[in-house]
Structure 1
């Protein structure tokens, strides 16, 4: 395989493939046995989730000029899926449509997430897959019990109340993040928790999988990697000869690299035309429909595989991306309807923050992702309460003439 345009596109595919590992689009038979068949609602959730994966990846690439991008569509979806339980009205409709869950009730969505999370964690005994969820509310902020009950039941979420004014609270949340990503992502909160923030909804994913066919370190050599902007860079290029599921046509070159018992794979794709920019390939050719078609045609072939060894961290604020995808009201302090969390105050989401890490070497892959949804209470308008002695005057603004002045110590006197 050519050493060109590779690292950027490995980005979403590693974790996005989680959405596809239980679908019917899998090419030749897998070595590992599927844990069980999916129910109709679960299958619909997975299929719609895969559409969201490609949509959010394409929109992220379009919005961010970073050289390397790595996201977890699953983590983003689960965090927003939890938040949906507190949304109503148009805010709820926009969230459901953006996540591609039209036609599914909230009960079906919740049950689908619950089953999918359990399935993914236990899918392959040779792969370590952890999914953890948590809800952190500000001490004294009333949270609808039905909301937290749903998250505990369907998302197995840890529900906690903290004094957000205490700097130690940020450390407690960050320790939870670090503990649930095997230390790959140390924190999601920088500095102190903002004054008006009343809740964090957080998803964390940790993945560790050894290649089914490991690379020999002795075969790793320094080789040239062609850069998109021109020129080359010397990288540590892993190499092996083995049979892999692969596909190529005049649009794409694709290879599937299995982990463990092969229920998890890394799918690597490049434009077939070496002169075509990867960003152009992603914008024009990378659709769920095309991907399903390509994967459906893979064949097991004896191949020489060359793949760079790499490690990257990535972080992005998802607000503008999600707004561009149709989730507008959620981020508007005047329009958001999160009355399912608390019906007595006006809430909105101030930030959806996404952080990831991935390391790929001869042994396999280690990756982690964290998505946090920060819920703010709209600032209470400043008040002026004349409930104690005061001075007053009456004036004319054009001339600044003061007509009357007085003081009041007792309005009832």
Structure 2
């Protein structure tokens, strides 16, 4: 019986998934009800497939990198969209590394852009009872010679707000943060603390989600209950309670339930290890893959009997800088001050543009009514200082020599080269 199990979440794992991608999951209380307003385009299907691969890989990398953090949540869609905007300015090996790390090999940049544009339109209109806002912006230092073709693509495909600012003005971060706050409905108030002198551009994605459960939990049924910690102790938490029909999947590796929002196009998938003694980080590393999730979802079913679902209320925020993780995933040259090729954004020769940092912040609140969540990803573009100069415009000494033996062939001085 399902009621013999408790859903030890939070320290277990919440995977917050926009379940629209050709899913065969049965997510409504009595089976599927929501339908997409149209079929996915071939490019959208490829983009979603790439996003799933990227999602689970960067999630694993994040958990491994920040293993001491008890509660974390990321938005792979926000991260990939901010990087996709940046990809439009990358060239050569820098472009190839970024495209491969995003699992977008096989797609040309125009196909990538078109897929992000149409998928954004689909996500934000798929279920009128669920609110999804996806916003993009580019903020650049006044005077930066940004390529017009790059700006045109940002407007056309990412509907980006583009604005030049005096980055030396102490009020400049407030302007950017006000945009972040507005586009996350106040859940995230700040992404930039101060603008360092070498930063010349920010490419920012903001994502907001608000969905009411298809079948809300009754607040009268919420009660204090024990939540087991991996350390062996317990904490008291507000545990929501509901009896109903939900899609389930139990195997030797996982116990899994889908809790739908709205008309069931969007859902929260909650997973715990079948082995109660398995640490959650080990479970993520060994079992959370695109292949497993696809297989598990395909085998989900709704039991004819009502089951008992217990889920804790929770709320937290999370923040991480992704430089090291993205480098480990193959984006190396973009972060190198002199190897990066972002000339598609701006050619600032003899200086050079590079990715200085990728910052990610999230917030989530889960209660009896549903879920409210937000994410912001900021890609900060830096500019190198002028390369060292050797300007020989005054008297000098010169030596012509053989380097290995040290033999000097000629030595001289020049006080007036015009003679």
Q: TM-score, normalised by structure 2?
A: 0.89
Equivalent position SS for 1:58: helix
How far apart in 1 are the matches of 2:118 and 2:219? 39
- Cα pair 1:212 1:260 within 8 Å, conserved: yes
- Cα pair 1:4 1:227 within 8 Å, conserved: no
Cα drift, residue 154 of structure 1: 0.4
| Correspondence for 1:352 | 358
| Correspondence for 1:274 | 276
How far apart in 2 are the matches of 1:51 and 1:217? 37
Unpaired runs of 5+ in structure 2? 398-414
| Correspondence for 1:131 | 134
- Cα pair 2:7 2:309 within 8 Å, conserved: no
| Correspondence for 1:189 | 192
* Counterpart pick for 1:247 among 224, 246, 249: 249
How far apart in 1 are the matches of 2:200 and 2:333? 18
| Correspondence for 2:20 | 21
CA-to-aligned-CA distance 1:304-357 (integer Å, 9 cap, x gap): 000000000000001111111111111111211101011233111010000000
Relative to 1, partners in 2 of residues 1:281 and 1:186: Cα closer, same or farther, differing over 3 Å? Answer: same
Equivalent position SS for 2:277: coil
How far apart in 1 are the matches of 2:341 and 2:253? 44
Unpaired runs of 5+ in structure 1? 394-407
- Cα pair 2:7 2:311 within 8 Å, conserved: no
1:87-126 alignment runs, 5 A limit: 87-126=90-129
CA-to-aligned-CA distance 1:103-161 (integer Å, 9 cap, x gap): 11111000000010000000100000000000011001110000111111001111110
Equivalent position SS for 2:310: strand
CA RMSD of superposed structures (Å) = 2.2
Equivalent position SS for 2:10: helix
Relative to 1, partners in 2 of residues 1:351 and 1:5: Cα closer, same or farther, differing over 3 Å? Answer: farther
Q: Within the alignment, does 1:342 sit opposite 2:341 as a pair?
A: no
Equivalent position SS for 1:380: coil
How far apart in 1 are the matches of 2:11 and 2:334? 30
| Correspondence for 1:304 | 308
Cα drift, residue 24 of structure 1: 3.5
- Report the more deviating stretch, 30-39 or 130-139: 30-39
Relative to 1, partners in 2 of residues 1:9 and 1:112: Cα closer, same or farther, differing over 3 Å? Answer: farther
| Correspondence for 2:217 | 215
Q: Within the alignment, does 1:81 sit opposite 2:84 as a pair?
A: yes
Cα drift, residue 286 of structure 1: 1.1
| Correspondence for 1:317 | 321
| Correspondence for 1:376 | 382
